[in-house]
Amino acid sequence: MGDMANSSIEFHPKPQQQRDVPQAGGFGCTLAELRTLMELRGAEALQKIEEAYGDVSGLCRRLKTSPTEGLADNTNDLEKRRQIYGQNFIPPKQPKTFLQLVWEALQDVTLIILEVAAIVSLGLSFYAPPGEESEACGNVSGGAEDEGEAEAGWIEGAAILLSVICVVLVTAFNDWSKEKQFRGLQSRIEQEQKFTVIRNGQLLQVPVAALVVGDIAQVKYGDLLPADGVLIQANDLKIDESSLTGESDHVRKSADKDPMLLSGTHVMEGSGRMVVTAVGVNSQTGIIFTLLGAGGEEEEKKDKKAKKQDGAVAMEMQPLKSAEGGEMEEREKKKANAPKKEKSVLQGKLTKLAVQIGKAGLVMSAITVIILVLYFVIETFVVEGRTWLAECTPVYVQYFVKFFIIGVTVLVVAVPEGLPLAVTISLAYSVKKMMKDNNLVRHLDACETMGNATAICSDKTGTLTTNRMTVVQSYLGDTHYKEIPAPSALTPKILDLLVHAISINSAYTTKILPPEKEGALPRQVGNKTECALLGFVLDLKRDFQPVREQIPEDKLYKVYTFNSVRKSMSTVIRMPDGGFRLFSKGASEILLKKCTNILNSNGELRGFRPRDRDDMVRKIIEPMACDGLRTICIAYRDFSAGQEPDWDNENEVVGDLTCIAVVGIEDPVRPEVPEAIRKCQRAGITVRMVTGDNINTARAIAAKCGIIQPGEDFLCLEGKEFNRRIRNEKGEIEQERLDKVWPKLRVLARSSPTDKHTLVKGIIDSTTGEQRQVVAVTGDGTNDGPALKKADVGFAMGIAGTDVAKEASDIILTDDNFTSIVKAVMWGRNVYDSISKFLQFQLTVNVVAVIVAFTGACITQDSPLKAVQMLWVNLIMDTFASLALATEPPTESLLLRKPYGRDKPLISRTMMKNILGHAVYQLAIIFTLLFVGELFFDIDSGRNAPLHSPPSEHYTIIFNTFVMMQLFNEINARKIHGERNVFDGIFSNPIFCTIVLGTFGIQIVIVQFGGKPFSCSPLSTEQWLWCLFVGVGELVWGQVIATIPTSQLKCLKEAGHGPGKDEMTDEELAEGEEEIDHAERELRRGQILWFRGLNRIQTQMEVVSTFKRSGSVQGAVRRRSSVLSQLHDVTNLSTPTHAILSAANPTSAAGSES
C-alpha cells in the first residue's frame, strides 16, 4: 500500500505538493492521511495502520513522538505541530453584533406601534391648514397660534422617536453585555478542562486547547476525550460512543482489536494511553461541528427553512403519549424556538404575569382611546354642531393621532417590559458573583431554581469530607493496629507482599509527590483512596516507585479496573517462574467473601472460613466503620505455571483469595460542613447522604456532619435494603412504596448510581407533600450522569469530578465543597427576592400611571402625563430600577426562611398590600394636584389646554411629583417581607445608590431645561421642595403600611402563580424529550418514524372504534387523552373539529390557552 501511494503520486500533482509541505515540517504523516485514518473503525483501521506504518509505534515514529516518553516539551516543536495539524480548538459561532441586537430590540410590538404613531404625528405637524378656515375647525389650534408655536408641533413626535431609540439602545446594550458575560463563562468552563499528557516522560495536566497531534495522552475512567487518537496500551477500556454513533452500548477498546478513540466520547471504564492523531476542526467532533456550521452563516438561512420543517421535527419528537391536542400545538411552537432546558419556574411565573398585565394594559389603553375619540367627536360635531370640512381633515386627524399616542403610552407604561430584563440582569449578576463563591453556573436558570431547593442529595467523599485520605488503622498478621505499625513489627514476607499488592494494583497515574511548600502535606495525585494506600507504604518506610519501575504498566498481564458494580480492582502479573499472581483490593465486606485463606503473624497461610469472616467483621471491620473509617481489604492469589485460567471469567479468577490485610482509611469531615448543614436545615432543606461506602462508616460520618441527630426519627439504608423496600414482587419500582421511604431517609449507603437516580426521581415525582420537591444532587463519577440530569439542579465536582459528570451538571463546584452549595441556595433565593422587589416597585408605578392616564384622559381629554414623560418614567422604572433592585447582594437572613416552592405566587399578600397601599397614596396626591393644584400653588390651570399649547407649570409639577414619589418608593421596594428598616444595607449596593442619585439628577435637568420636548416648564425652588416633600412622604407612608398586619387583609389576592399542576407535568414530559440534543434527534428520527407508523395505524383503529362506540362527543372525551394527541398527529384536524373536542373538555381548552 505504501508503494502504491507513492507510485500514484505522479498522476496527481496536487497531493504531491500537499504531501511535501508537511514533510518539509519533518513529519511522516500528512493531515489528510490522519483524517482518513480516523474515519476507519475496528479491523479496517488496524489493517490500515499495519499497511501504512507497521504498527502504532511506527505511527508514533512518523509523528516524531515516543510512546513512553511523549513529546519533548519544546515550544517551537509544539507550535510547528499546531501550524501543520491545527489547534485543538473549535471556533465558536459568531456572537450577534450590537446592530443585530438593536434590530431585535426594535421588534417589540409596543415600540413599533409607538414609532408608527410618532411618525404619523411628525408628518401631520408639518401640515398647516389654510389660515382663514381655522375658525371653522373649532377651537382646535387657537391657543397655539397666539403663542406662535405651531412650528413646535413636530417636537412631540421627534421626542417620542428619540425615547424609543433610548429604550432600544439600553435593551440592546443589556443583551450585549449578557452575551459577553455568557461567552466569558463558556471560555472559563473550557479553560477549566484539563487533560493528562506525557511530555518528557513527566505526567502533565495541560488545558485541552494545548493538546497537539503526537501528544501521548493518559485516558482514564470518566474522561471526555478531547481529541482523536490511536490506543497504544489499554486496561479493560470501555467507551460510550453514543454521542457520535447513537449506540448506547459501551464499546470495548484494545490496542489489538479496536484502537480508534474519538473525540467527544466518554470513557466509562478502565484506562489507557493514546497517541493524539487529530485535533480541533479535524477531529471527528470537529468535523461534525463544521458540518453543523458552528462558524458559518448557512445556519441563518437554514434556520428560516428549518422553522418550517421544525414544526414537523418537533412533531416527530413529541412523546407519543402527549397531552391534549390544543396544548400540543402551543408547546410545539414553544419547542421549535425553545432552548434546551425547560423554562425555569421563575420565568414561567413571570411570563404568565407579564401576559396578564399586558392584557389588562391593552384593554385600558383601548378604552382610553375610544373614550377620547367619542368625547371629541360628540363635543365637536354634536354639541357644537360643526360639519366635517375637507380642509379641516388634517387637524382632526392630528387630534386622533394625539389620542392614539396617549393610548399607546398607557399601553407602554402598562406592559412591564422590564420584567424579562430584570430576570436577566439579576441572573447574570448572580452568576458573575457566584464565580467568587466557587460556583461555576452552566445553566442560568439553575441559579434561581436553587433558591427553591427543598432537598439536597450529597455524595460523602470530597463534598462533605476533605478528600484527603490516610490509612489510620490496619489489621495485619492477626493483629489489629490502631496506628501505623513499625516496619520491624511485621514479617518481611507480609510487608513485601503488601508493598507489591499496593504499588502494582493501583493506577500508575496515582502518585504521592513531595509537598510544594516547606512543611506542607505531601501532594496526592490521582485516586484518593489509592493515594492513602501508597501513603501507607511510605509510612512503612518503603517506596512504591522502584516496584513500579521493575514492573512497568505495559508489563501488567491483565487489569480488572474499578467500577461501581465490582467495587474492587485486580491486576495480574506474570511471575518469573511462568505462573501468575493476581492482586486484588476492594470494599472489605465484598472481598472478604472471596477469601478462603489469610496470612497469619508469620506470613503463612491459614484457612479462613465463613465463621472466621463473621468474627472479623464483628471485631475488626465494624469497629473501624463506626469510627467513620472506610475499610479496604487487600488480597492476592497465585496461579501455578501450568494452570492459566480463562481471564474473561472474572468470578473464577477473582476468587479463592488470600487476605493480606484490611486497612481503615480516614477521610476527615471538612471543618465547615456541620455549620453549612445546620444552615440548610434551618432554611428548610433536607440533606441526604448517598454514598458507596459501608453503612456504619456512612452513619458515623453523617452523625459527625449533623445530617442525622440522635433522637430523630430517620432511616439509614443500604442499597439492597432500599431496593427491597421500594420494589414490588415483580421487581418494579412503586411510587407509593418509595413515598413511605424517602421522607425519613437520611443516609443511603452501598448505593449504586442507579439507586441514586431512583431516589432522585422518586423524590421529584412524589406527590405526597403539598409542594413538589425541588432536588439538588451532587455527583463526581461518570455514572452519576443520569442522576445529575434528572435532578432540578445538578452539582458536579470541579476537582474530583469526571468530565462526564460536568457535562451533565448545571453548576460546577470549583472547590468541591458543600458550603458552596449553601452559597448557591443563598444566591438563588436572592434572585427570587430581587425579582419580587422589582415587581413590587414596577407594579405600583404601572397601576398609578395607567389610572392617572386613563382618568385624566376621560375627565380632561388629555393625559396629565405626556407620552414622552411616560416613556421617561418607563425607562427609569423598567431599565434603571431593574438594574438597581436586581443587583442587591444576598444576606445570611435569606437562609432563615423556608423555600418558596414551585407554586408560590410571585406577589405575596404583603407585596400586594405594599403595591395597593402606595398606589392609593400616589393617586390621592396626583389627583389632588390635578384638580386643585393650581389653587394651591397659585398658578394657571393646565387642564383643557388646546393642541400644541406650551407646557404648563401645573402639569410639570404633577410629572415631577410623580417621579419623586417613584424614586422614594424605589427605596421602599428594597424590602418585601414587611421589614421596617428600608435603608438596611443600602450602602453595600453602590449600583443602587448611583442609579437613584443619577435618576434624580437627570430629572432636575429634564424639568428645568427639558422644555417643549418633555412638556416641562421650569419650576421654582419652592415648588421643587413641595415635590420633594411629597416624595419623602412615600417613606413615611411606607411605615404606615408596614404597621397594618397582612393577616387582617383577607381580601387581598396573590398574583403570579406558577403554571398549574397539569401544565407542569406536560412541561416535564416535554423536558425529558428536549434533553436529547440535535445530533441524537437526527439519529432517533428513524426509530421515531417507525414507531409513529405503527402508532398511526393503531390510532386510526382507535378513532374508528371510538366513533363506532359512541356517536356522541362524550365517548370521544372519555378517550381524549390517548386519542386526541394522536388524532392531532394523524389528521392535523381542521380547527373547528379541534375546537369541539377541546370544548367538550373545558379543562383542556383552558389549559391550552394559558
Are 220 and 509 contacting, i.e. CB atoms less than 8 angstroms apart?
yes
Q: What pLDDT digit, counting tens, does each position of 358-380 carry? A: 788 888 888 888 888 888 888 88
Q: Checking DSSP bridges between strand 657-666 and strand 595-599, what pairing results, if any?
A: parallel
Question: Are 524 and 553 in the same domain?
Answer: yes
CA distance linking residue 301 with residue 297, whole number of Å: 7
Of 282, 298, 333, the one marking the end of a domain is 282
Residues 6+ apart with CB under 8 A from 728: 734, 737
Question: Are 639 and 761 in the same domain?
Answer: no
Residue 1126 has pLDDT above 70, yes or no: no
Residue 18 has pLDDT above 50, yes or no: no
Are 673 and 705 contacting, i.e. CB atoms less than 8 angstroms apart?
yes
Q: Give the pLDDT band of residue 49 (cuts 50, 70, 90).
A: confident
The pLDDT of residue 1056: 58
C-alpha cell at 172: 440592546
Question: Are 935 and 837 in the same domain?
Answer: yes
Q: Give the pLDDT band of residue 1067 (cuts 50, 70, 90).
A: very low
CATH number at residue 229: 2.70.150.10
What 3-state class would DSSP assign to 136? coil
Are 158 and 1013 contacting, i.e. CB atoms less than 8 angstroms apart?
yes
Of 246, 266, 282, the one marking the end of a domain is 282
CA distance linking residue 1058 with residue 1068, whole number of Å: 14
Residue 1125 has pLDDT above 70, yes or no: no
Q: Residues 428-439, buried b or exposed e (16+ Cβ, 10 A)?
A: bbbbebbeebbb
Domain that holds residue 55: 32-88+211-282
C-alpha cell at 306: 428549518
Question: Are 791 and 836 in the same domain?
Answer: no
The pLDDT of residue 328: 31
Residue 1140 has pLDDT above 80, yes or no: no
Taking the model in full, what pTM does it have?
Answer: 0.69
With residues binned 3-state (H G I as helix, E B as strand, rest as coil), the percentages for the chain, rounded to 5, are 55, 15, 30
Of 1018, 1040, 1058, the one marking the end of a domain is 1058
Q: What pLDDT digit, counting tens, does each position of 334-364 carry? A: 333 333 344 566 767 777 777 788 788 888 8
Q: What pLDDT digit, counting tens, does each position of 657-704 carry? A: 999 999 999 888 888 889 999 999 999 999 999 988 888 888 888 998
- DSSP states of 209-240 as a string? GG--TT-EEEEETTPBP-SEEEEEEEEEEEEE
CA distance linking residue 511 with residue 531, whole number of Å: 6
CATH number at residue 791: 3.40.50.1000
Residue 795 domain-assigned (yes or no):
yes
Q: Checking DSSP bridges between strand 216-220 and strand 266-278, what pairing results, if any?
A: antiparallel
Residue 379 domain-assigned (yes or no):
no
Question: Are 524 and 647 in the same domain?
Answer: yes
Question: Among 108, 215, 240, 459, which one carries the catalytic annotation?
Answer: 459
CA distance linking residue 1045 with residue 78, whole number of Å: 72
Are 278 and 87 contacting, i.e. CB atoms less than 8 angstroms apart?
no
Question: Are 878 and 1007 in the same domain?
Answer: yes
Residue 764 domain-assigned (yes or no):
yes
Residue 683 domain-assigned (yes or no):
yes
Q: What pLDDT digit, counting tens, does each position of 939-968 carry? A: 877 776 665 677 788 888 988 999 999 889
The pLDDT of residue 529: 87
Q: Give the pLDDT band of residue 145 (cuts 50, 70, 90).
A: very low
CATH number at residue 950: 1.20.1110.10
Q: What pLDDT digit, counting tens, does each position of 182-215 carry? A: 677 667 767 777 888 888 888 888 888 888 888 8
| Range of lowest pLDDT (235-244, 715-724, 1130-1139) | 1130-1139
Q: Give the pLDDT band of residue 11 (cuts 50, 70, 90).
A: very low
Q: Give the pLDDT band of residue 499 (cuts 50, 70, 90).
A: very high
Question: Are 732 and 767 in the same domain?
Answer: yes
Q: Please report, rounded to a whole number, the percentage of residues in the chain having pLDDT higher than 90.
A: 8
Question: Are 493 and 454 in the same domain?
Answer: no
Q: What pLDDT digit, counting tens, does each position of 1042-1065 carry? A: 888 877 776 666 665 654 443 443
Residue 503 domain-assigned (yes or no):
yes
Q: Give the pLDDT band of residue 1120 (cuts 50, 70, 90).
A: very low
- DSSP states of 437-496 as a string? TTEEESSHHHHHHGGG--EEEE-STTTTB-S--EEEEEEETTEEESSPPPGGGS-HHHHH
Residue 130 domain-assigned (yes or no):
no
* Number of domains present in the structure of the chain: 4
What 3-state class would DSSP assign to 826? helix
Residue 297 has pLDDT above 60, yes or no: no
CA distance linking residue 324 with residue 646, whole number of Å: 57
Cα-based distances in Å from 71 to 76, 198, 226: 12, 7, 18
Find where cell 413538589 sits: 772
Question: Are 652 and 712 in the same domain?
Answer: no
Residue 719 has pLDDT above 70, yes or no: yes
Question: Are 718 and 626 in the same domain?
Answer: no
Q: Give the pLDDT band of residue 1107 (cuts 50, 70, 90).
A: very low
Q: What pLDDT digit, counting tens, does each position of 245-267 carry? A: 777 778 888 888 888 888 888 88
Question: Are 709 and 855 in the same domain?
Answer: no
Which is more confident, 222 or 1090?
A: 222
CATH number at residue 580: 3.40.1110.10
Residue 586 domain-assigned (yes or no):
yes
Residue 554: active-site member:
no
Residue 864 domain-assigned (yes or no):
yes
Question: Are 216 and 69 in the same domain?
Answer: yes
